[in-house]
Structure 1
Amino acid sequence: MHVHTPEAPGRPLSMVDLKAEVASIRPELDAALAGILDATAFVRGPIVAGFEAALAAYVADLDARAPEAHVIGCANGTDALQIALMALGVGPGDEVVCPSFTFVATAEAAALLGAVPVFADIDPATFNLAPEAVEAAITDRTKAVVPVHLFGQMADMAALRSVCEPRGIPIVEDAAQAIGATRGGEAAGLAGDLGTLSFYPSKNLGAYGDGGAVYTTSAPLAERARRIANHGAARKYFHTEVGINSRLDAMQAAILRVKLRHLPAWTTARRLAAAVYDDHFAHLPEVTRPPRASGARHVFHQYTLRVADRDAVADGLRERGIPTMVYYPVPLHEMPPYAAGARGPLPETERACREVLSLPMHPHLSQDDLARVARAVRDLVTQPVPA
């Protein structure tokens, strides 16, 4: 009978290694922060504008259509979603179609405006909104559709547009986990009417505090989003509509400008780490590796497996000093504030919540780290059940 003997623990692992990240760019960060203190320009101003322009150039360069992108920095990713929906006129009584398999902010932003988040099921292969499920969820009250580019892979935006455009329904892309992702030559956040980002510290491009952004190829939508984020004012003390106070502060913008220069290399490192994981799991039928949609560039905010006995595997990995996370254990439609948005069964969403397990994923994982994690997963899922 096979008896499993766990290998000796290696170095401590983490889902995200911000200490290693900071150490790798510390001189640049120190110089950027010193510049902020010297300039004493802490809110909006040229440093924020410079980061917005750099980010606009980065995302536009990823898109084969080479559009002009407009970026509006704001306080966090949830505000970014709310600002985008406000720019489209979403309000009380409207419906916003979105996934239930996502972080709460996607639905919360609509609910804060008095709209009803209506949930559509996901494609089991990619975890992203299934276009046919979106079509079934649309009513004459639907004011927007919000796909989430989950775990770093874009949803099928061409198919979603084919559903939404004939009905005049705009699309807001929740690209919080997918900066740098592309599909079919389109960049995440530029394939719909508006895109949104979160700069939460654990994101692929994370601040060292809160931050977010709205971006779009539409100059009128950009102008309105910028106005909404600034108390509804195009210039100081002249308010043309009700807005909110949502600002990306200059210190975070300076940090993000430094990190943006390293984002392409870090994205490559994530993709290489994912390829190593893939090789380890290639002949392991007990787990399902993250899929790659045709023509898509996955940026691996998370490396997420499907495994039948998920909780037991997570427990076993924790005992071996290997952290994991479940994104997400409970679908939004089963939570009390959002139950009104469940218009029918969402079987793929519910199955994903039972099976998904995210492994450590960041640019500073070594080959030994990746092999250690993979060996532990293999040993746990292939152990015979005790008689």
Structure 2
Amino acid sequence: MGTSELAAAGVGAGDEVVLPSFGGSRVADAVLALGAVPVFADIEPVGFCLDPAAAERAVTAHTAAVVPLALFGQAPDRPGFAELSRRRQVPVVELGAEPGAASLAAARRRRLAAHLGTRLTGLVTPEPLPGREHTYARYVVRVPGNGRPDRDAFRRALRARGIAAEVPVPVPAHRVDPRRSGAWLPETERAAAEALALPLHEAMTRREMHRLVSACRALGGLVLEPAC
């Protein structure tokens, strides 16, 4: 993912590329394939996308590109990265853009996401950030409470009820060889411990939605804080 785009931006051996660790494993592999060095920066407290301020702090004289990702259908902060590029004279290469933001399928997913947002309590549900579109390619919530133990227990309980909940990023890229780094990325670690993808697709029926909401509400006392 992204090798040709990075090469076209001038990334080569020995260069540094700033990118998110959360959801950035395939891009990090593309960076390594070019002989360049992935430099991981933290994500935003909401939205799961690369934080422009954190990315700028990671820029050095060896930085050849900054790579924000559109993650789970949430667009990155394009104005923020345009300003970073202007100020630091570093190209920004956006990868992972979700096509069809104005499609009927995306519009349907937005309606379903809005419905879930009014029904699921106790979970931190995704919402589009100001001025940034969200196609809800995946409906990723945060399960509050005691981090990974509560999130994993909630997932197991949902799956026992036939709800195919998945952990979207089991391990951030900066903790996996050969990309391992000693970067301290607190928002990335928090997202990796709390994030859970609930089933949502444009063909979802009212019955399926009701089943999902009912399963979540039935597990309200599972974690330290109510899960739904």
| 1:338 paired to 2:179 | yes
Measured after TM superposition, the shift of residue 161 of structure 1 is 1.4
| 1:289 paired to 2:121 | no
Which residue of the partner structure matches residue 70 of structure 1? none
Measured after TM superposition, the shift of residue 384 of structure 1 is 7.8
Secondary structure (helix, strand or coil) at the match of 1:358 reads: strand
TM-score, length of structure 1 as denominator length: 0.55
Measured after TM superposition, the shift of residue 383 of structure 1 is 4.7
Which residue of the partner structure matches residue 363 of structure 1? 202
Distance 1:265 1:147 in 2: 26
| Aligned 8 A contact 1:280 1:371 in 2 | no
Secondary structure (helix, strand or coil) at the match of 2:94 reads: strand
The 5 Å alignment of 1:1-387 reads 78=1, 81-176=2-97, 178-181=98-101, 264-281=103-120, 284=121, 286-308=122-144, 309-340=150-181, 342=182, 344-383=183-222
- 1:245-290 per-residue CA deviation (whole Å, 9 max, x = no partner) reads xxxxxxxxxxxxxxxxxx8111111111111111211xx2x21011
Distance 2:26 2:205 in 1: 33
Distance 1:85 1:279 in 2: 40
Q: Which of these two proteins has the greater Rg computed from alpha carbons?
A: 1
- 1:155-199 per-residue CA deviation (whole Å, 9 max, x = no partner) reads 1111111112222211111124x2234xxxxxxxxxxxxxxxxxx
RMSD: 1.6
The runs of 5 or more residues in structure 1 that have no matched partner are 1-77, 182-262
Measured after TM superposition, the shift of residue 103 of structure 1 is 4.4
Distance 1:167 1:96 in 2: 14
| Aligned 8 A contact 1:100 1:349 in 2 | yes
Greater share of residues in helix: 1
| Aligned 8 A contact 1:153 1:296 in 2 | yes
The aligned length equals 219
| Aligned 8 A contact 1:313 1:381 in 2 | no
- 1:265-321 per-residue CA deviation (whole Å, 9 max, x = no partner) reads 11111111111111211xx2x210113201222100110110031111110111111
Distance 1:297 1:132 in 2: 20
The runs of 5 or more residues in structure 2 that have no matched partner are 145-149
1:301/1:338 CA distance change after superposition, 3 Å: same
| Aligned 8 A contact 2:69 2:94 in 1 | yes
Distance 2:220 2:72 in 1: 23
User: What percentage of residue pairs aligned between the two structures are identical?
Assistant: 42
Distance 1:384 1:146 in 2: 36
Q: Provide runs of 4+ in structure 1 moved above 4 Å.
A: none
| Aligned 8 A contact 1:144 1:171 in 2 | yes
Measured after TM superposition, the shift of residue 123 of structure 1 is 0.3
Distance 1:326 1:358 in 2: 6
One-letter code aligned to 1:323: A
Greater share of residues in strand: 1
Distance 2:137 2:114 in 1: 14
Which residue of the partner structure matches residue 147 of structure 2? none
Distance 2:210 2:43 in 1: 31
1:383/1:310 CA distance change after superposition, 3 Å: closer
- 1:332-385 per-residue CA deviation (whole Å, 9 max, x = no partner) reads 111111124x4x310000010000000112111011111211121122133587
